[in-house]
Structure 1
Amino acid sequence: MKRTSTISRPVEIGLRFIGMWPDSTYATLCWIIYMATMVIVQYYQYTYVFTHFDLNDIPLLMDCLGLTLAYTLAFFKFLVLWLNRRECGINDSYASTMINVADLSRRCSNVMISINALAAFFLSIGEHLLQSMNDANRVDNNSRELPIKMEFPFDVSESPIFECFLVGQFLYELVLASIVGMVNALLVSLILHVSGQIDIMRQDITEISNNKYDPNTSLIVIKNLICKHQKIITLSENIENLFSYIALMQLLWNTLVICCTGFVIIISISANDSATTQIKSVSFYMAITLEVFILCFAGEFLSAKSKSISDAVYNSLWYNMPPSEGRILLFVILRSQKRLTITAGKVIDLTLEGFTSIMKASASYVSVLNAMY
């Protein structure tokens, strides 16, 4: 039996893991444990940054700072998601339409989570394995470094402490990357659900204009159509309230992260560093860029989809309807002119043009850092 919910199974598992799925067992305890773990890791990461802060070694600073800022962004995203959590009902009318939406949501979720998981692999254990293969004869344990730069009050370079921390970092990085991918997939799933409801509304508009309904009950059908439109608007506003400040942090924070990672890539290529460094930086760069692109594309897609309602009403045979009912549909057109969208902190709309601006700004910062270096 196909899953008709637009929330795919991987997204549901991720929400249950961090205690944000409605009615999940020990939700608050799971969330507290996960967030406390992130706080501890962040403490040792920022300790490393402050301890090794040296403007004469900009590549090392940008390398560790980029990953640290990315983890901080993830922490604030989970915090905002928790503060804005709520239960909601999902209307699964027109099962065939929603099944197609659910299938698309499942595929998108799997792709986004997989990309983040692969980036985490190359960032942590993948780099260590490749370095071990390239330098199998290394005997100086003190030169061994963990993939995630952290400053501890004790020596972690000795075996088996180093191996234990290496495995712990790998699991932490893999889980965190998957959860971040899940949050992005949640946004896409919600946008696709709104899209499916808009498609259903457009089908209703077509059936009304084609007189498939009894003229005696058409006014009731139009009233239900307006109620459905209002529910779509309300759901879109709830999504906007949930992701607005997440999007604002994402745009501002990821601009710096993309800048730092892009600078590391340029330096590693110009210095002919090992392929491991380049693979790690490029995979991380792709994952971070994908996060910003998903937000901007979701906002652009929602705006375009909301405008299609007015187009559907305009292209219908509304002129064959009684004037009183046709005038009601005119109000639907007027309301649809105010497009649905996702904003960054209720300041700017998320569009593909905004994504282009972010990439340009990041490239400018990289040029400045390269000139300083």
Structure 2
Amino acid sequence: MKIDNTLSKSMEILLRIFGIWPDSSYNSLRRLFWTIAIIMEQTLEYQWVVVHFYSNESFEVMKILSETMTYTIMFIKVVIFWVKQRTFTKILTMMAIDWENRAIDEVSMITTTYNANLSRRFNNGTVAIYTVAVMFHCSHLFANDMDEKASNTSLRPLIMNMDLPFDFSKTLVYWPIIIIQFIHLMLCAYINGMLNTLLINLILHVGGQIDILHKWLMEMFPTEKKLSEKSSLSPLVVEKVIKKHQQIIIFSENIEEMYTNIAMVLFVSDTLIICCLGFILVTSVGTPDGMKIIMRTILFYVVSNMEAFTYCFAGEYLTNKTSSIMDAAYNSCWYEANPRDSRFIVFMIMRSQKQLTITIGKVMDLSMERFSSILKASASYISVLIAMY
């Protein structure tokens, strides 16, 4: 089964680079490369935080710590996708089957095509947002005081602060490091954003399949017929509806299996990251370099909030969509059919009462209420840090 064209080309390329895309060549070597590269980068960054924890300004340490935590979460996401490779392949295969079967009727064609195009727009928007965020993050390299810092080469800034074990002040060493850090940062930002957008793509796809099921339910029963004119349903139509419902359930459960552990990690980490970035924004107001710090941090803060919102919105959307299957089954004209033909509606309603959702480590459901709790907890921690500052 071909799984091409189920996702955007940019997402497929990034997933191939990080060894996530199924059946890619040299996946093991790519995974080994990124494991070594990210572990080295994480070690040097955390070492910088430990060494400069008391010697630097608190908001600078908070900034580097939040960035380092973001890379850690990104790596955890990638590792989970490596481990769940078989589940990810099942998801892509099911999407490919739905894409091939979209020509069954006009509703399937319109709905599937619309959601695919909407997913590609989300992917392109994610690339644009993360590109701008990385550019703003690197803006300090081109600040007005660059010449002053260059006079003392020991203070030459890096894109990602690291405690390097060698002298990088020389130009021939400094600029290759900057280029490597920039490429590494850009790729890591892209894959972090794309794994979040992938969740939206999957949720939109399952939402489109639920809309198709709604339409089939509304059209399968006869309408405005007298009791004596009732006609029997075709067993093939009933089988098609039931199989579509089963496919939606399996697809949703695969999404849950892929993202439940990621959601658990994000629920804790995003609270701390948003707290650190909010503390930086608040404490930088009124300082001499406040505007520069805010410009470098604001998009990072927005992206972190977007990440938490994306997961909570996806869980809320999936819950509401799967619950609507029960309403669509009840609102169909089952009462116009023979009792023997409409009995399967009872089983569909009973099965739909068990909501499909994305959980946080199998503990609690992702919802907009969870997003509000993340923001409330972050605001509380910010107020405590400001009081201690």
TM range (shorter): over 0.9
Cα shift readout 1:142-197 (whole Å, capped 9, x = no counterpart): 22221311001112123122222112111111111001111011111111111111
Matched, 1:12 2:26: no
Mapping of residues 12-161 of structure 1, within 5 Å: 12-54=12-54, 57-86=57-86, 87-88=89-90, 89=93, 90=95, 91-92=98-99, 93=101, 94-124=108-138, 126-129=139-142, 131=143, 133-138=144-149, 139-161=151-173
Deviation, 1:5, is 4.3
SS at match of 2:161: coil
Equivalent residues of 2:232, 2:337 under 8 A apart: no
Matched, 1:181 2:181: no
Deviation, 1:127, is 2.5
Equivalent residues of 2:19, 2:31 under 8 A apart: yes
Equivalent residues of 2:45, 2:162 under 8 A apart: yes
Mapping of residues 217-366 of structure 1, within 5 Å: 217-366=233-382
Cα shift readout 1:21-80 (whole Å, capped 9, x = no counterpart): 111111121122122211110110011011112288422221211111111111111111
Deviation, 1:215, is 4.5
Q: 1:165 and 1:72 mapped to 2: Cα distance? A: 21
Going from structure 1 to structure 2, the CA distance change for 1:135 and 1:33 (only over 3 Å counts) comes to: closer
Task: Return 96-105 or 46-55, whichever deviates more.
Answer: 46-55
Is there any run of 5+ residues in structure 2 with no aligned partner, and where?
A: 102-107, 225-229
Q: 1:43 and 1:215 mapped to 2: Cα distance? A: 71
Q: 1:9 and 1:268 mapped to 2: Cα distance? A: 40
Cα shift readout 1:77-113 (whole Å, capped 9, x = no counterpart): 1111110112222222223221111001101111123
Equivalent residues of 2:232, 2:338 under 8 A apart: no
Equivalent residues of 1:20, 1:27 under 8 A apart: yes
Going from structure 1 to structure 2, the CA distance change for 1:16 and 1:4 (only over 3 Å counts) comes to: closer
**Match of 1:199?**
211
Equivalent residues of 1:114, 1:178 under 8 A apart: no
Cα shift readout 1:268-296 (whole Å, capped 9, x = no counterpart): 11424242211111111111111111000
Q: Percent identity?
A: 39
Q: 1:120 and 1:247 mapped to 2: Cα distance? A: 24
Deviation, 1:6, is 4.2
Is there any run of 5+ residues in structure 1 with no aligned partner, and where?
A: none
**Match of 1:172?**
184
Q: 1:200 and 1:127 mapped to 2: Cα distance? A: 50
Give, as a single letter, the amino acid of the residue that structure 1 aligns with 2:307.
Answer: E
Q: 1:211 and 1:20 mapped to 2: Cα distance? A: 49
> How does the TM-score come out when normalised to structure 1?
0.93
Going from structure 1 to structure 2, the CA distance change for 1:55 and 1:327 (only over 3 Å counts) comes to: farther
Q: 2:245 and 2:178 mapped to 1: Cα distance? A: 52
Q: 1:152 and 1:339 mapped to 2: Cα distance? A: 51
> How does the TM-score come out when normalised to structure 2?
0.90
Give, as a single letter, the amino acid of the residue that structure 2 aligns with 1:204.
Answer: W
Task: Return 38-47 or 327-336, whichever deviates more.
Answer: 327-336
Q: 1:27 and 1:56 mapped to 2: Cα distance? A: 41
